[in-house]
Amino acid sequence: MTTSWLLLALGLSSITLTTAQQPRTVVAPLSRIAQGELFTASMKLGIGSPPQTVTAIFDTGSSDLWVPQAGSSLCNDPRGRCSGTNANDTGAFDSAMSSSFAAAPQPFFANYVNGVEVFGDFMTETVSFGNTTITNNTMGIARNGTLTAPLVSILGVGPASLEASVVNRQGPGYNNLPAHLKAQGQTTSLIYGVYINDFRAAEGSVVFGGMDAAKLAGEMQVVPLIGRQQFQTDDFIIAWTSFSFTPGTGGAGAGAGAGAGNGGNGGNGNGGNGGNGNGGNGGATDLGGRNLPAVLLDTGNPGLSMPASVLDRIGPAIGITQAPDGTNVVPCNSGDTGARFTFGFGAASIDVPISMLFIPVNAADAQGQALCTLPLDVSDGPVASLGAPLLQAAYAVFDMENNVVGMAQAKVNTTETKIQELRPDWLQGRQPGAKRALPRAPRRRVRLT
């Protein structure tokens, strides 16, 4: 209104201006949540009217949002965390206390690889998080089931084609939370950027409909999803092309100073400061071999699940020993040397300092040094699963519009922010596997008369 008045005052009847279009993104903080000794990313949600606070695991490996019904058998299970009376409780939802609750005439069922199963019904509800509120969101309300781990709500943000009702052939799909945000006009795309951040820090963030460019320490690389072509699934599965370990200054390697080839100071050299030697400042030791499986990028996985053959190479490379109880351990201070794992996904490469992976155990070595373990477990299927421990070192853009994942080294523990909208055509003119320049804010032409 002020602009139009000024134009008239100046005697201008018509002019074309280019103005910045308001980006449509939704930003929400991510915090860490304990799953036993392990950690994964979570998000606080307000469910209902007035909002009832629950904490949900932020999960790219599933596609349904569900919360437990307050007072249900799930909440009364010894593993329930519904009461909200201590720091480990994650809350529950009392449908009788919400004026916006609407039951849906369809049963809800979801199960997970850790053996957790939940049963209940679908409902539609108001959901608040970050800087937004959405209405009539379809989700599950769970009342009973089987718990093999502490009860925590799940915020599944994977493709809608992987919703439990579709996978289990119990009914049609629906707009899950990312799709509902787009349907209600709060975002323009089924794309979101995830910054889990170092678990030793306070929090990370997710940007639905965009990304936070200030969280990138390197260039964004675009990696194609291969699940649909190779495994008939829309999961966030990409090719895992390399895996290596680089010891830091004085770090232990995997042998007695001998590398795997000919040369001087490189990781493949014989003698000298070889990457496979004890001590020195060596090069990288290959841990992956030639037959790495495809990998699921799963923020809901608190570990790194990979083939036994790969795990067998990790132990000697980083100097793993066994504690009296059989736990695989390393001195916690071995992470102070700058040692790191490097994960390669085609054009994308992510360095993960081993110190970011360490989980303290109640034990010490003969020298009195505190010992730590790592969140590693065996997965010998055709698809490995790399979870939150890897992704805390990466900035990842999950793009369900173009079936790609954008990956860059994360700038950990930064408070800077630069939110950018990512529309469905953000990759126009680019091929997966290529570097991606960061998008500029979209602009539109406005004619004032």
In terms of Cβ atoms closer than 10 Å to its own Cβ (0-12, 13-18, 19+), residue 19 is exposed
What is the spatial distance between Cα 213 and Cα 210, in angstroms, rounded to a whole number? 9
- What are the E-state strand segments in 271-412? 285-286, 294-297, 304-306, 321-322, 328-331, 340-345, 348-353, 359-364, 370-373, 376-378, 383-386, 394-399, 404-409
Question: What DSSP character marks residue 437?
Answer: P
Secondary structure (DSSP) of 95-158 = GGG-TT-EEEEEEEEEE-TTS-EEEEEEEEEEEEETTEEEEEEEEEEEEEEE-SS---EEEE-S
The question of whether 298 is a catalytic residue gets the answer: yes
Secondary structure (DSSP) of 32-76 = EEEETTEEEEEEEEEETTTTEEEEEEEETT---EEEEBTTSHHHH
Strand partners, 376: 304
Q: Which has the closest alpha carbon to 142: 121, 126, 171? A: 121
CB atoms within 10 A of CB 308: 10
Alpha helices in 354-404 (DSSP H): 388-391
Catalytic residue among 59, 89, 212, 235: 59
Residue pair 192/236 in contact by the 8 Å Cβ criterion: no
The question of whether 351 is a catalytic residue gets the answer: no
Residue type, 254: A
Q: Which residue has the tokens 């599944």?
A: 156
Reduce the DSSP state of residue 391 to 3 states and report it.
Answer: helix
Catalytic residue among 77, 298, 365, 380: 298
Per the omega criterion (within 30 degrees of 0), is the bond before 375 cis?
no
Catalytic positions: 59, 298
